[in-house]
């Protein structure tokens, strides 16, 4: 089983994250209902086992909780991916969610990069600030060591647009992490 775990404790957050790329239980508690819903969707659509528990300074706002969750999950994912050999490496998908259409493309290569193109029409979904969406995914990409490109082509409901992104990322990572024989690189090294 490809598993990873990471704990992070600062004056702003206390987080434990565990992921199994090959499935398992899903238990998420961040203190932000919509964020929990998105992380659960990520796990279900990726076929991942996921346990995340966060105590954050939500009396300030959700920024530290979202970003630090991305850091912890990214580091756990990096551990689960190991040396990143013997996987398909690339994955991409365009995914609809009602009126919204989102795309995710990933290269699990150990060279992090992040591109995000989306404009959300509503500033909040429940108690989740929509501007935290790229903060979470940036932290995830850089700490997992992946190249991640995200784009919302169109949409009018921020909930649908963000949910399409989380589901698209899950599918793209699942595809990229699919086992195969040998390292997918002309250099012979990532």
pLDDT over threshold 80, residue 185: no
Task: Answer yes or no: is 110 within a domain.
Answer: yes
Task: Answer yes or no: is 189 within a domain.
Answer: no
Q: Give pLDDT tens digits for 22-79.
A: 999 999 999 999 999 999 999 999 999 999 999 999 999 999 999 999 999 999 999 9
pLDDT at 85: 86
Task: Answer yes or no: is 66 within a domain.
Answer: yes
Task: Answer yes or no: is 119 within a domain.
Answer: yes
Task: Answer yes or no: is 187 within a domain.
Answer: no
Task: Answer yes or no: is 144 within a domain.
Answer: yes
Contact call for residues 66 and 35 (beta carbons, < 8 A): yes
CATH of the domain at 83: 3.30.230.40
Task: Answer yes or no: is 115 within a domain.
Answer: yes
Q: Give pLDDT tens digits for 141-181.
A: 999 999 999 999 999 999 999 999 999 999 999 999 999 87
The number of distinct structural domains making up the chain is: 1
Q: What domain range includes position 142?
A: 3-176
Task: Answer yes or no: is 100 within a domain.
Answer: yes
């Amino acid at each position: 089983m490809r598993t990873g775990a990471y704990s992070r404790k600062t004056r702003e957050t206390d987080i434990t994250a565990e992921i199994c790329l090959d499935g398992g239980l899903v238990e998420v508690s961040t203190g932000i209902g919509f964020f929990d819903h998105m992380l659960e969707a990520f796990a279900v659509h990726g076929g991942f086992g996921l346990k995340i528990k966060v105590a954050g300074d939500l009396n300030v706002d959700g920024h530290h909780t979202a970003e630090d969750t991305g850091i912890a999950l990214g580091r756990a994912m990096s551990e689960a991916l190991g040396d990143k050999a013997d996987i398909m490496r690339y994955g991409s998908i365009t995914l609809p969610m009602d009126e919204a259409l989102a795309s995710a493309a990933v290269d699990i290569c150990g060279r992090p990069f992040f591109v995000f193109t989306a404009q959300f029409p509503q500033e909040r979904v429940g108690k989740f600030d929509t501007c935290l969406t790229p903060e979470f995914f940036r932290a995830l990409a850089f700490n997992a060591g992946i190249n991640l490109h995200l784009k919302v082509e169109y949409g009018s409901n921020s909930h649908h647009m963000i949910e399409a992104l989380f589901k698209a990322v899950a599918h793209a990572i699942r595809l990229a992490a699919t086992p195969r024989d040998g390292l997918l690189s002309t250099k012979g090294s990532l």
